Structure 1
Amino acid sequence: MPAFPYLQDLGHGITAIDTGFVRERFDAAYLVVDQGRAAYVDTGTNDALPRLLGALDAQGLSREAVDFVIVTHVHLDHAGAAGALMEQLPNARLVAHPRGAPHMVDPSALVLGASGVYGAEQVARTYGDVRPVAAERVLTTHDGMTLLLGGRALDFIDTPGHARHHHCIWDERSRGWFSGDTFGISYPEFVTPRGRYLLPTTTPVQFDPEALKASVARLLERAPQCMYITHYGRVGDVPALARQLCEQVDEMVALARSLASAPERHAQLAAALACLYRERLRAQGSLLDDAEIGRLLATDVDLNAQGLAVWLEREARAAGQP
């Protein structure tokens, strides 16, 4: 067995780190190394800290070699360990979207918001003590900004749709985007005879379908060869996956609107989403049975239904409806 079984070398100085959150191969962080300098992209939760530091050890890098801890957005499965990790890295700066950066300095509102979705006990059990980051160590990004890591340029663009505090990071060396949740989710179990199956994530509370599709269009402008997604890993065949993603955004919005006045909207919408994803997988030739698909997507179905409900209510308020 390899010494670091949770690491995957993706080439171009990029290592995928399985953070171990929820289950194996569910949640990835990335370590990017160039000319002996290192940056993390996303961190997982506090439980991932040994694996995050182990990725440095595997390459013989010191804690002092890390220049940046970059979070694509501040949802806790992406940024929960950022504060604890920064405490181990004396030279690093935390890099965050300007809408998300204040929540890294004072995570109390972030934890409160997650508690509203998952419940306070579940948040405490899952995420532990979310550590703050000193304000002077936080670097906020702007659309079109470039950071230099060693001799490697990392470009940032604003990518709302999943969350308003989301940016994506372009790596010219590998011609790939670190896309967080903007380019959806695709677990390794969803490799099918017709390629990878990918679906949008509409986690509450800032889903915006038109903004999301516009963000995906911006990602495609650079003709990427791959996407480094948090859930999970590197995916190729980007144009086909982008079509799949945007088609499903439209289908999910249509389902939500059709059930807007349903008496048990959440349950009905969750069931409709589960059916949509199963049918999509079947159309691609997946051999997973219904029980396994349900197990893999249970959390995503529930959260997507919640996020669509929040979006419906926001749309109704904008239209002046009670």
Structure 2
Amino acid sequence: MQPEHGIIAIDTGFCRPRFDASHLIVEDGRAAFVDVGTNHSVPRLLAALFAQGLPASAVDYVILTHVHLDHAGGAGALLRELPNATLIVHPRGARHMIDPSALVAGASAVYGEEEVRRSYGEPVPVPAERVVQAEDGHVIDLAGRPLLCLDTPGHARHHISIWDARSRAFFPGDTFGLSYREFDTARGAFVLPTTSPVQFEPDALRASIDRMLGYAPQAMYLTHYSRVGDVPRLAEDLKAQIDTMVRLAREHAAAPDRHARLVAALAELYLDRARAHGCTLADATMRELLDIDIELNAQGLEVWLQRGARG
């Protein structure tokens, strides 16, 4: 069975099954990866490529929506295996791919050095001559198939989303939130925003979502996790949650136990919405699946408050 529109979802193996996806786009014997997971993901990505009957030399592009390590950590190691591939990345993220030291330091500050080494491995620098900085409106030509890069800040200032007119879909990285398949119900996919540190900007995130809606996408290929449809409904869900999360952050801004209060409030928000969506998982199971994101979202909201709650 041929993949729809030549798009193959690859589970990168990060954290748990169906948590972190790379997408392989195949067009007329040429290929591109969108987001790549970690160093540990590289064998899975190459296996998916070979399963399509394509050699490593068929990959023309490795496209990063942004440079957070669950999306970009394995880029340098993957490029060592792909002799013809060029790295496509937001101009703000390019230097972090050429010299990942600051990226590793930032992740270590959030997760701890030991956890970064265990989960991500040691990021491999990408030679500068293999890096293309994708300004807003940059078009990638994949064997005649145009892939349009849009600057979509809000989750991170170094974020692009990729519009594929062939499939009428975006590869939005984290700008269009997270949707884990365990929460799917008869009503469709469940989605929540990601405000992980350190560049959450709610106004910019809403604007980026609206900008993508202007293309009337039929689907979003999320990094967490893969294809979702019913895009207008999910967009409204995301924007409503962003507003609520901002309100909660402001309500608890002055509390001495602010972080604990935010964690509890976000957990209640997401579990209530999941139940309303028809999710029948036990509360403890839902909380376990969302714990990492609840913690990171609380941290991101706190960083936003510390910056003065602008945007």
TM over 0.5: yes
User: Partners of 1:315 and 1:243 in 2: how far apart?
Assistant: 26
Residue 311 (1) aligns with residue 304 (2): yes
Secondary structure of the residue that 2:150 maps to in structure 1?
strand
In percent, how many aligned pairs have the same letter?
63
Do 1:259 and 1:265's aligned partners in 2 also have CA atoms closer than 8 Å? yes
Q: Do the aligned partners of residues 62 and 182 (structure 1) sit closer, same or farther apart at CA in structure 2, a change above 3 Å counting?
A: same
Amino acid at match of 1:292: T
Q: Could you tell me which amino acid in structure 1 is paired with residue 28 of structure 2?
A: Q
Matched with 1:169 is 162
AA in 1 matched with 2:64: V
Q: Secondary structure at the match of 2:299?
A: helix
Match of 2:52 among 47, 59, 69: 59
Conservation of the 8 A alpha-carbon contact between 1:153 and 1:172: yes
- Alignment partner for residue 126 of structure 1, among 93, 116, 119? 119
Count of residues in correspondence between the two structures? 311
Residues 9 and 15 of structure 1 are in contact (CA less than 8 Å); yes or no, is this contact kept in structure 2?
A: no
Q: Distance in 1 between matches of 2:41 and 2:73?
A: 9
What CA deviation, in whole Å up to 9, does each residue of 1:255-292 have, x standing for no partner? Answer: 00000011111111001000000110111111111011
Equivalent residue for 2:283?
290
1:199 aligns with 2:195: no
The offset of 1:9, in angstroms, is 6.6
CA distance in structure 2 between the aligned counterparts of 1:10 and 1:184, rounded to whole angstroms: 24
1:48 and 2:41 aligned: yes
Q: How does 1:150-189 map to 2 (within 5 A)?
A: 150-189=143-182
One-letter code aligned to 2:85: A
The alignment yields a C-alpha RMSD, in angstroms, of 1.2
What are the within-5 Å matches in structure 2 for residues 76-87 of structure 1? 76-87=69-80
- Within a 5 Å distance, the mapping from 1:5-24 to structure 2 comes to 10-24=3-17
1:296 match: secondary structure: helix
Aligned with 1:85: secondary structure?
helix
Rounded Cα–Cα distance in structure 2 between residues aligned with 1:184 and 1:142: 22
1:181-213 Cα deviation digits (max 9, x unpaired): 000000001112322110000010000000000
Determine whether 1:302 maps to 2:302.
no
Q: Deviations over 1:30-89 (max 9, x none)?
A: 000101110000000111111000011101101110100000000000000000000001
* 1:79-98 aligned within 5 A: 79-98=72-91
User: Hey, what does 1:272 align to over in structure 2?
Assistant: 265
1:22 corresponds to which letter in structure 2?
A: C
Q: Distance in 1 between matches of 2:22 and 2:87?
A: 15
Q: What amino acid does structure 2 have at the position aligned with 1:179?
A: P
Aligned to 1:208: 201
- 2:241 pairs, out of 248, 251, 254, with 248
Gaps of 5+ in 1: 1-7
Q: Displacement, 1:10? A: 4.6
Q: 2:216 aligns with which of 192, 207, 223?
A: 223
* Residue 142 (str. 1) matches residue 135 (str. 2): yes
Residue aligning to 1:3 = none
Q: 2:67 aligns with which of 71, 74, 77?
A: 74
Contact 1:18/1:24 (CA < 8 Å) preserved in 2?
yes
Structure 2 gap ranges (5+): none
Question: Quick one: distance in 1 between partners of 2:5 and 2:186?
Answer: 27
TM-score by length of 1: 0.95
Of 151-160 and 187-196, deviating more is 187-196
Match of 1:37 in 2: 30
Q: Normalising by the residue count of structure 2, what TM-score does the alignment of the two structures yield? A: 0.98
